[in-house]
Amino acid sequence: MTAKSAHRYLIQPDPDHPDLSEAVSGRDQDGNVIDLRVVVERPLTIFLNAQEIVTAMTIGDFPQQLAVGYLRNQNMLRADDQITAIDYDADLQVVVVRTRRKTDFEEKLKKKTHTSGCAQGTVFGDLMEALEDVSLPPEARLHTRWLRQLTATINTTPSLYLSAGAIHGCVLCHQHQPQIYMEDVGRHNAIDKIAGCMFLDAIPAADKIMYTTGRLTSEMVIKTVQMGIPILISRSGFTAWGVALARQTGLTLIGRARGKRFIILSGADRLVFDHDDDIDDESFDQNLKV
């Protein structure tokens, strides 16, 4: 039976799925044989119509969402594009996204910029242009009591991270509720899979919060802003350019979110301080598990 969180997600990790991790045998410091599970990486080649775009290394779940989200976050798929078919071949490890509009990115692919921190070669000039068109909703709010509930729920959700480690997670949240929790070897894949879900199911972005386990690099900020999500939270730290881009685009940026502690470096006007200082984190975590 697959482990499930007490919280109801739309999509949550399936750490017991046999395709996502493998058993390997090794030895510990005393020479004892030990068995552990390690996450898989496999290539997935993404086509947009007749054009081969990229081969990504991924754990392999949600290939359609990954392909659509990748293309959307690279601005190769436009917000108003109509997808006519998504063909996935598990044996060939290929996914083909077909659109009504004719596309050709041969030229654009020549001038890739590889961004830092788990990057997959974003068409950088185009991305920066795309950011200028995005306007994040100023009226969005983040209550500090949501923040604690979110991190407590996410941290106790059964995941490949908890069972095998060496993996990144991204979670799309609404208020205090995590809704879509994706994992992958690179966090760019995890966030792209969320972008794919949002595009395919027409999920609105303005009232959402993005949570990531990884660092708040420029790439994560760019993708979140592009997706139209006004708030980005991480348990990890910041980079200078991530902070500068968040301030420039009006993104609410919160890092080092652990228990009731956090640091906000951009967009503090969306924050509502309403957490209760009297609740310590341990009892709070335990309450949530019931």
Minimum CB distance to its own copies, residue 82 (Å) = 27
Q: Which is nearer to its own copies, 28 or 91 (CB)?
A: 28
Minimum CB distance to its own copies, residue 132 (Å) = 18
Residue 52, classified by CB atoms within 10 Å of its CB into exposed (0-12), middle (13-18) or buried (19+), is middle
Minimum CB distance to its own copies, residue 59 (Å) = 9
Q: Which is nearer to its own copies, 56 or 205 (CB)?
A: 56
Burial letters 196-207, b for 16+ CB under 10 A, else e: bbbbeeebebee
Instruction: Classify strands 168-174 and 83-89 as parallel, antiparallel or unpaired.
Output: unpaired
Minimum CB distance to its own copies, residue 189 (Å) = 7
Minimum CB distance to its own copies, residue 102 (Å) = 21
- Yes or no: say if 154 and 179 are a contact pair by the CB < 8 Å rule: no
- Please give the structure tokens belonging to residue 197: 């879900």
Q: How far are the Cα atoms of 98, 166, 169 from residue 24, in angstroms, in the given order?
A: 39, 14, 23
Q: Which is nearer to its own copies, 4 or 111 (CB)?
A: 111
Minimum CB distance to its own copies, residue 77 (Å) = 17
Q: Which residues contact 263 (CB under 8 A, 6 or more apart)?
A: 238, 254, 255, 256
Q: Which is nearer to its own copies, 30 or 80 (CB)?
A: 30
Q: Which is nearer to its own copies, 23 or 290 (CB)?
A: 23
Residues lying near its own copies in the complex (CB under 8 A) are found at 21-22, 24-31, 34, 36, 38-43, 54-58, 109-110, 112-121, 124, 144, 164-166, 184-186, 189, 215-218, 236-243, 260-266, 268, 273, 275
- Yes or no: say if 170 and 66 are a contact pair by the CB < 8 Å rule: no
Q: How far apart are CA 27 and CA 65, in angstroms?
A: 38
Residue with tokens 């509009």: 101
Minimum CB distance to its own copies, residue 195 (Å) = 16
Q: Which is nearer to its own copies, 46 or 171 (CB)?
A: 46
- DSSP letter at 186? S
- DSSP letter at 203? -
| Rg of the chain taking only CA atoms, in angstroms | 19
Q: How far apart are CA 250 and CA 231, in angstroms?
A: 9
Minimum CB distance to its own copies, residue 221 (Å) = 11
Q: Which is nearer to its own copies, 174 or 256 (CB)?
A: 256
- Please give the structure tokens belonging to residue 91: 């044996």
Q: Which is nearer to its own copies, 179 or 266 (CB)?
A: 266
Q: How far apart are CA 286 and CA 282, in angstroms?
A: 6
